[in-house]
């Protein structure tokens, strides 16, 4: 095994499996996708640590690959099936989209930073993941042109209720993300049933807030 292959195995065996992730498809996908390919060369030694990795460029808004365990547990809750159409919001350089591409039929990944979106497209294409399309779009907008989706994954935290994303779910669809609308932040699953939306907290999780999903500061007079 190469050094990165060994680190990938240790990440799955030491971080993901002990966190009650039992879906073998997710475990296999995380073993197959090289996380180091999605981070700057200067940070590749950190690629498999239990960290939110900063992949921002220059003076752009901070963007992260969120912790592997948080990603894996949210994907398990989303119950993504082989034929599903999935939207990944805030894909950064594309790691979560790559994992999901191993699970789903078609993946649309949005990213507000055009430079990161281009990088994500290049890395995903280089890995032969032809079922992923990367689009430049604000996090709160999603991708209504290709909606509705079986599942939506928010690759970060939201401090607001993402109503526009809810509307892009199919009947029976699932949205997962970390909701920081209250404290502590919690990974949450939202399901659409008969036109209504129900939500259930999954686990506490502190991850960076996606640009565009920050809390609106109210002025006090």
What is the sign of the dihedral through the CA atoms of 201, 31, 90 and 60? Answer: positive
More confident residue, 221 or 18: 18
Q: Is the pLDDT of residue 2 over 80?
A: no
Distance CA 12, CA 155 (A): 19
d(CA 109, CA 112): 10
Kindly state the average pLDDT of the residues 86-108: 98
Residue 64: pLDDT band (50, 70, 90) is very high
Sheet of strand 169-179: strand arrangement:
132-136, 106-111, 85-89, 149-158, 169-179, 186-193, 196-204
Rounded to an integer, what distance in angstroms lies between the CA atom of residue 150 and that of residue 189? 13
On average, the pLDDT of the chain sits at 95
In this prediction the pTM is 0.95
Which pair of tokens denotes residue 206? 């502190």
Strand segments, DSSP code E, in the chain are 53-54, 64-65, 85-89, 106-111, 132-136, 149-158, 169-179, 186-193, 196-204
What is the Cα–Cα distance from 7 to 203, expressed in whole angstroms? 26
Average pLDDT (62-81) is 96
Confidence of residue 78 (pLDDT cuts 50, 70, 90): very high
CATH no. of 3-204: 3.40.50.150
**Residue 217: pLDDT band with limits 50, 70, 90:** low
Mean pLDDT of 27-45: 96
Question: What's the pLDDT tens digit per position in 160-216?
Answer: 999 999 999 999 999 999 999 989 999 999 999 998 999 999 999 999 999 999 987
Q: Using one digit for the tens of pLDDT, what is the confidence trace for 114-129?
A: 999 999 999 999 999 9
Sign of CA dihedral 107, 78, 35, 114: positive
Choice between 79 and 61, residue whose per-residue pLDDT is larger: 79
């Amino acid at each position: 095994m190469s050094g990165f292959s060994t680190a990938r195995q240790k990440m799955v065996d030491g971080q993901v499996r002990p966190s009650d992730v039992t879906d073998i498809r997710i475990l296999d996908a995380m073993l197959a996708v090289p996380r180091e390919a999605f981070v700057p060369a200067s940070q590749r030694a950190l690629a498999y640590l239990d960290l939110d990795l900063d992949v921002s460029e220059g003076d752009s808004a901070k963007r992260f690959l969120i912790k592997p365990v948080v990603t894996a547990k949210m994907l398990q809750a989303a119950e993504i099936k082989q034929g599903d159409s999935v939207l990944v919001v805030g894909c950064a350089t594309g790691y979560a989209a790559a994992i999901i591409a191993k699970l789903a039929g078609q993946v649309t990944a949005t990213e507000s930073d055009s430079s990161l979106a281009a990088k994500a497209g290049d890395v995903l294409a280089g890995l032969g993941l032809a079922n992923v399309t990367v689009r430049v779009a604000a996090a709160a907008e999603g991708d209504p042109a290709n909606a509705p989706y079986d599942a939506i994954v928010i690759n970060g935290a939201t401090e607001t209720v993402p109503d526009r994303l809810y509307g892009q779910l199919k009947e029976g669809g699932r949205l997962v993300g970390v909701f920081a609308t209250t404290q502590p932040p919690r990974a949450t699953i939202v399901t659409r049933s008969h036109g209504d939306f129900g939500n259930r907290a999954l686990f506490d999780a502190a991850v960076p807030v996606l640009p565009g999903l920050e809390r609106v500061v109210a002025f006090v007079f």
